[in-house]
Amino acid sequence: MNKLTQFLTTAVLALAGAANVAHAAADQTLIQRGEYLARAGDCIACHSAAGKPAFAGGLAIDSGHGIIYSSNITPDKQHGIGAYTEQQFADAVRKGVRADGTHLYPAMPYTSYAKVSDADIKALYAFFQAGVKASSFDPPATKMSFPFNMRWGMGVWNYFFADTKPFVAQAGWSDKVKQGAYLVEGLGHCSSCHTPRGFAMNEKASNSGQDKFLAGGELNDWPVPSLRGLPRWSEAQIVDYLQTGRNQGSAVAGEMTAVVEHSTAHLQDADLQAVAAYLKTLTPVPPLGPAVKPQGKEETARKLTAAVNLSLGERLYLDNCAACHFVNGKGASRVFPELDGATVINADNPTALVNVILHGARTPSTDKAPSILVMPGFSRRLSDAEAAALATFLRQGWTNSADSVSERDVAKIRAKAH
């Protein structure tokens, strides 16, 4: 080999090596982007079960018509999605159709994921193929009652109820609001819980242009608040809540605890700020008129302070709650939630409030708020009648104006939790 040929060969090999390094770097960047998007979509929450590898599936989801077990979405070729092409992956995510043509149940929020862009689908596919450890775990088979066990029927459901249109920005939105709307409508799938549902468990709205979108409702008997406008919170308080599970006057409870822990706490500041800006653009749901006349701020605080001629609910509040939430119901900023005016307390359905009284709540540990704040449950300490009296006081003290809670209500809620 002469010197010129040797030089050219060396140069070609160097260029090829540099190209391979650049390609590997590009692939890694795509995988990292996919990992971030999987956080935004909270994929780990449903596709991971206690004691099993991440994304290996097996989480039991009670649909009301049977138990749905989440699927293995690791790159295992036999039990996971390792043999999926990118198009098959896209069809599963956006259309709810597996590689073998079988329909998924809409516990998988493909009606929201339909709005995910091609570029983001590509990044998600790269992550689940190359950024997740393969697992051969085979989740239990989903067991639905008749006729819901006939998966072909989901094709009919999709025809009538599934909106699989791509994301469309509304006129007049800024780039920041567009990004927030894209995350909320799409990967965030906030509509799955926060939009009211119809008789077929279909969401009654699918995009920001519809008044019922994110207007709240009930899911599995739990009240779910409206996200439209969030009039009691500033944009900064929304970001704080999503990052840490708490803000100046509120703290997470129930399903939202896991959403913060596994998803929103990991999102970049710019994305959370975009989400907050978008939510504030939505027209709030008109407030309902008071169900009962509230006791009044001053009267409630005065009576609790005097501690004379107390009702059972007031006495129980002083014995169990006032040390943290105080006689004015204001709590302590970012530590003990404010009770006066709280959405969970004023909801038509008292299920969430009673569950918190009975079983307590705890904030998640996040990077920006690593300490876990725990409210103890009082299920062993309070009888059904006492829990009902306490809940009724909370729902009618200060400026709160919700209906009373009965002993029977508490008994049903307590029994369902077992």
Give 112-138 pLDDT, tens digit per residue: 999 999 999 999 999 999 999 999 999
> Across residues 77-84, what is the average pLDDT?
96
pLDDT at 11 over 50: yes
Tally of CB atoms within 10 A around 204: 16
Q: Are strands 374-375 and 217-219 parallel, antiparallel or unpaired?
A: unpaired
Does residue 65 have a known ligand-binding role?
A: no
Q: Which two tokens stand for residue 96?
A: 């709810």
Local confidence band at 180 (pLDDT 50, 70, 90 cut-offs)? very high
Beta bridge partners of 251: 246
Summarize pLDDT for 218-273 with one digit per residue, the tens.
887 888 999 999 999 999 999 999 999 999 999 998 889 999 999 999 999 999 99
> Looking at residue 143, what is its pLDDT?
85
Record the tokens describing residue 186, joined without a space: 């799409």
To the question of whether residue 418 is assigned a binding role by annotation, the answer is no
CA distances from 76 to 47, 68, 124, 139, 141 (A): 14, 21, 16, 13, 17
Residue 68, SS3? strand
Please give the model's pTM, rounded to 2 decimal places. 0.89
How many Å apart are CA 237 and CA 216, to the nearest integer?
19
3-state percent breakdown (helix, strand, coil) of the chain, nearest 5:
45, 5, 50
Nearest Cα residue to 354 out of 295, 305, 394: 394
Q: Is there a contact between 137 and 80 (Cβ–Cβ < 8 Å)?
A: no
- To the question of whether residue 79 is assigned a binding role by annotation, the answer is no
Q: What interhelical angle do 255-262 and 235-244 show, nearest 10?
A: 90
From residue 6, alpha-carbon distances to 2, 9, 20, 414 in Å are 6, 5, 21, 81
Residue 4 pLDDT > 70: no
Task: Round to whole Å and give the CA distance between 159 and 208.
Answer: 21
Do the Cβ atoms of 259 and 42 come closer than 8 Å? yes
Decide: 132 and 74 in contact? Cβ < 8 Å. yes
Query: CA 283 to CA 285: how far, in whole Å?
Result: 7
The pLDDT score that the predictor gives to residue 19 is 45
The answer on whether 193 is annotated among ligand-binding residues is yes
Q: Is 23 marked within a binding site?
A: no
Whether 368 and 244 have beta carbons less than 8 Å apart is answered as: yes
Residue 315 CB partners (closer than 8 Å, separation 6+): none
Q: Which two tokens stand for residue 100?
A: 């073998």
Alpha-helix runs per DSSP H in 41-152 = 43-46, 86-95, 110-113, 118-130
Distances (CA, A) of 187 to 16, 49, 69, 146: 38, 21, 21, 31
Instruction: Please tell me what DSSP assigns to residue 229.
Output: S
Q: Is 266 annotated for ligand binding?
A: no
| DSSP strands (E only) in 180-251 | 217-219, 222-224
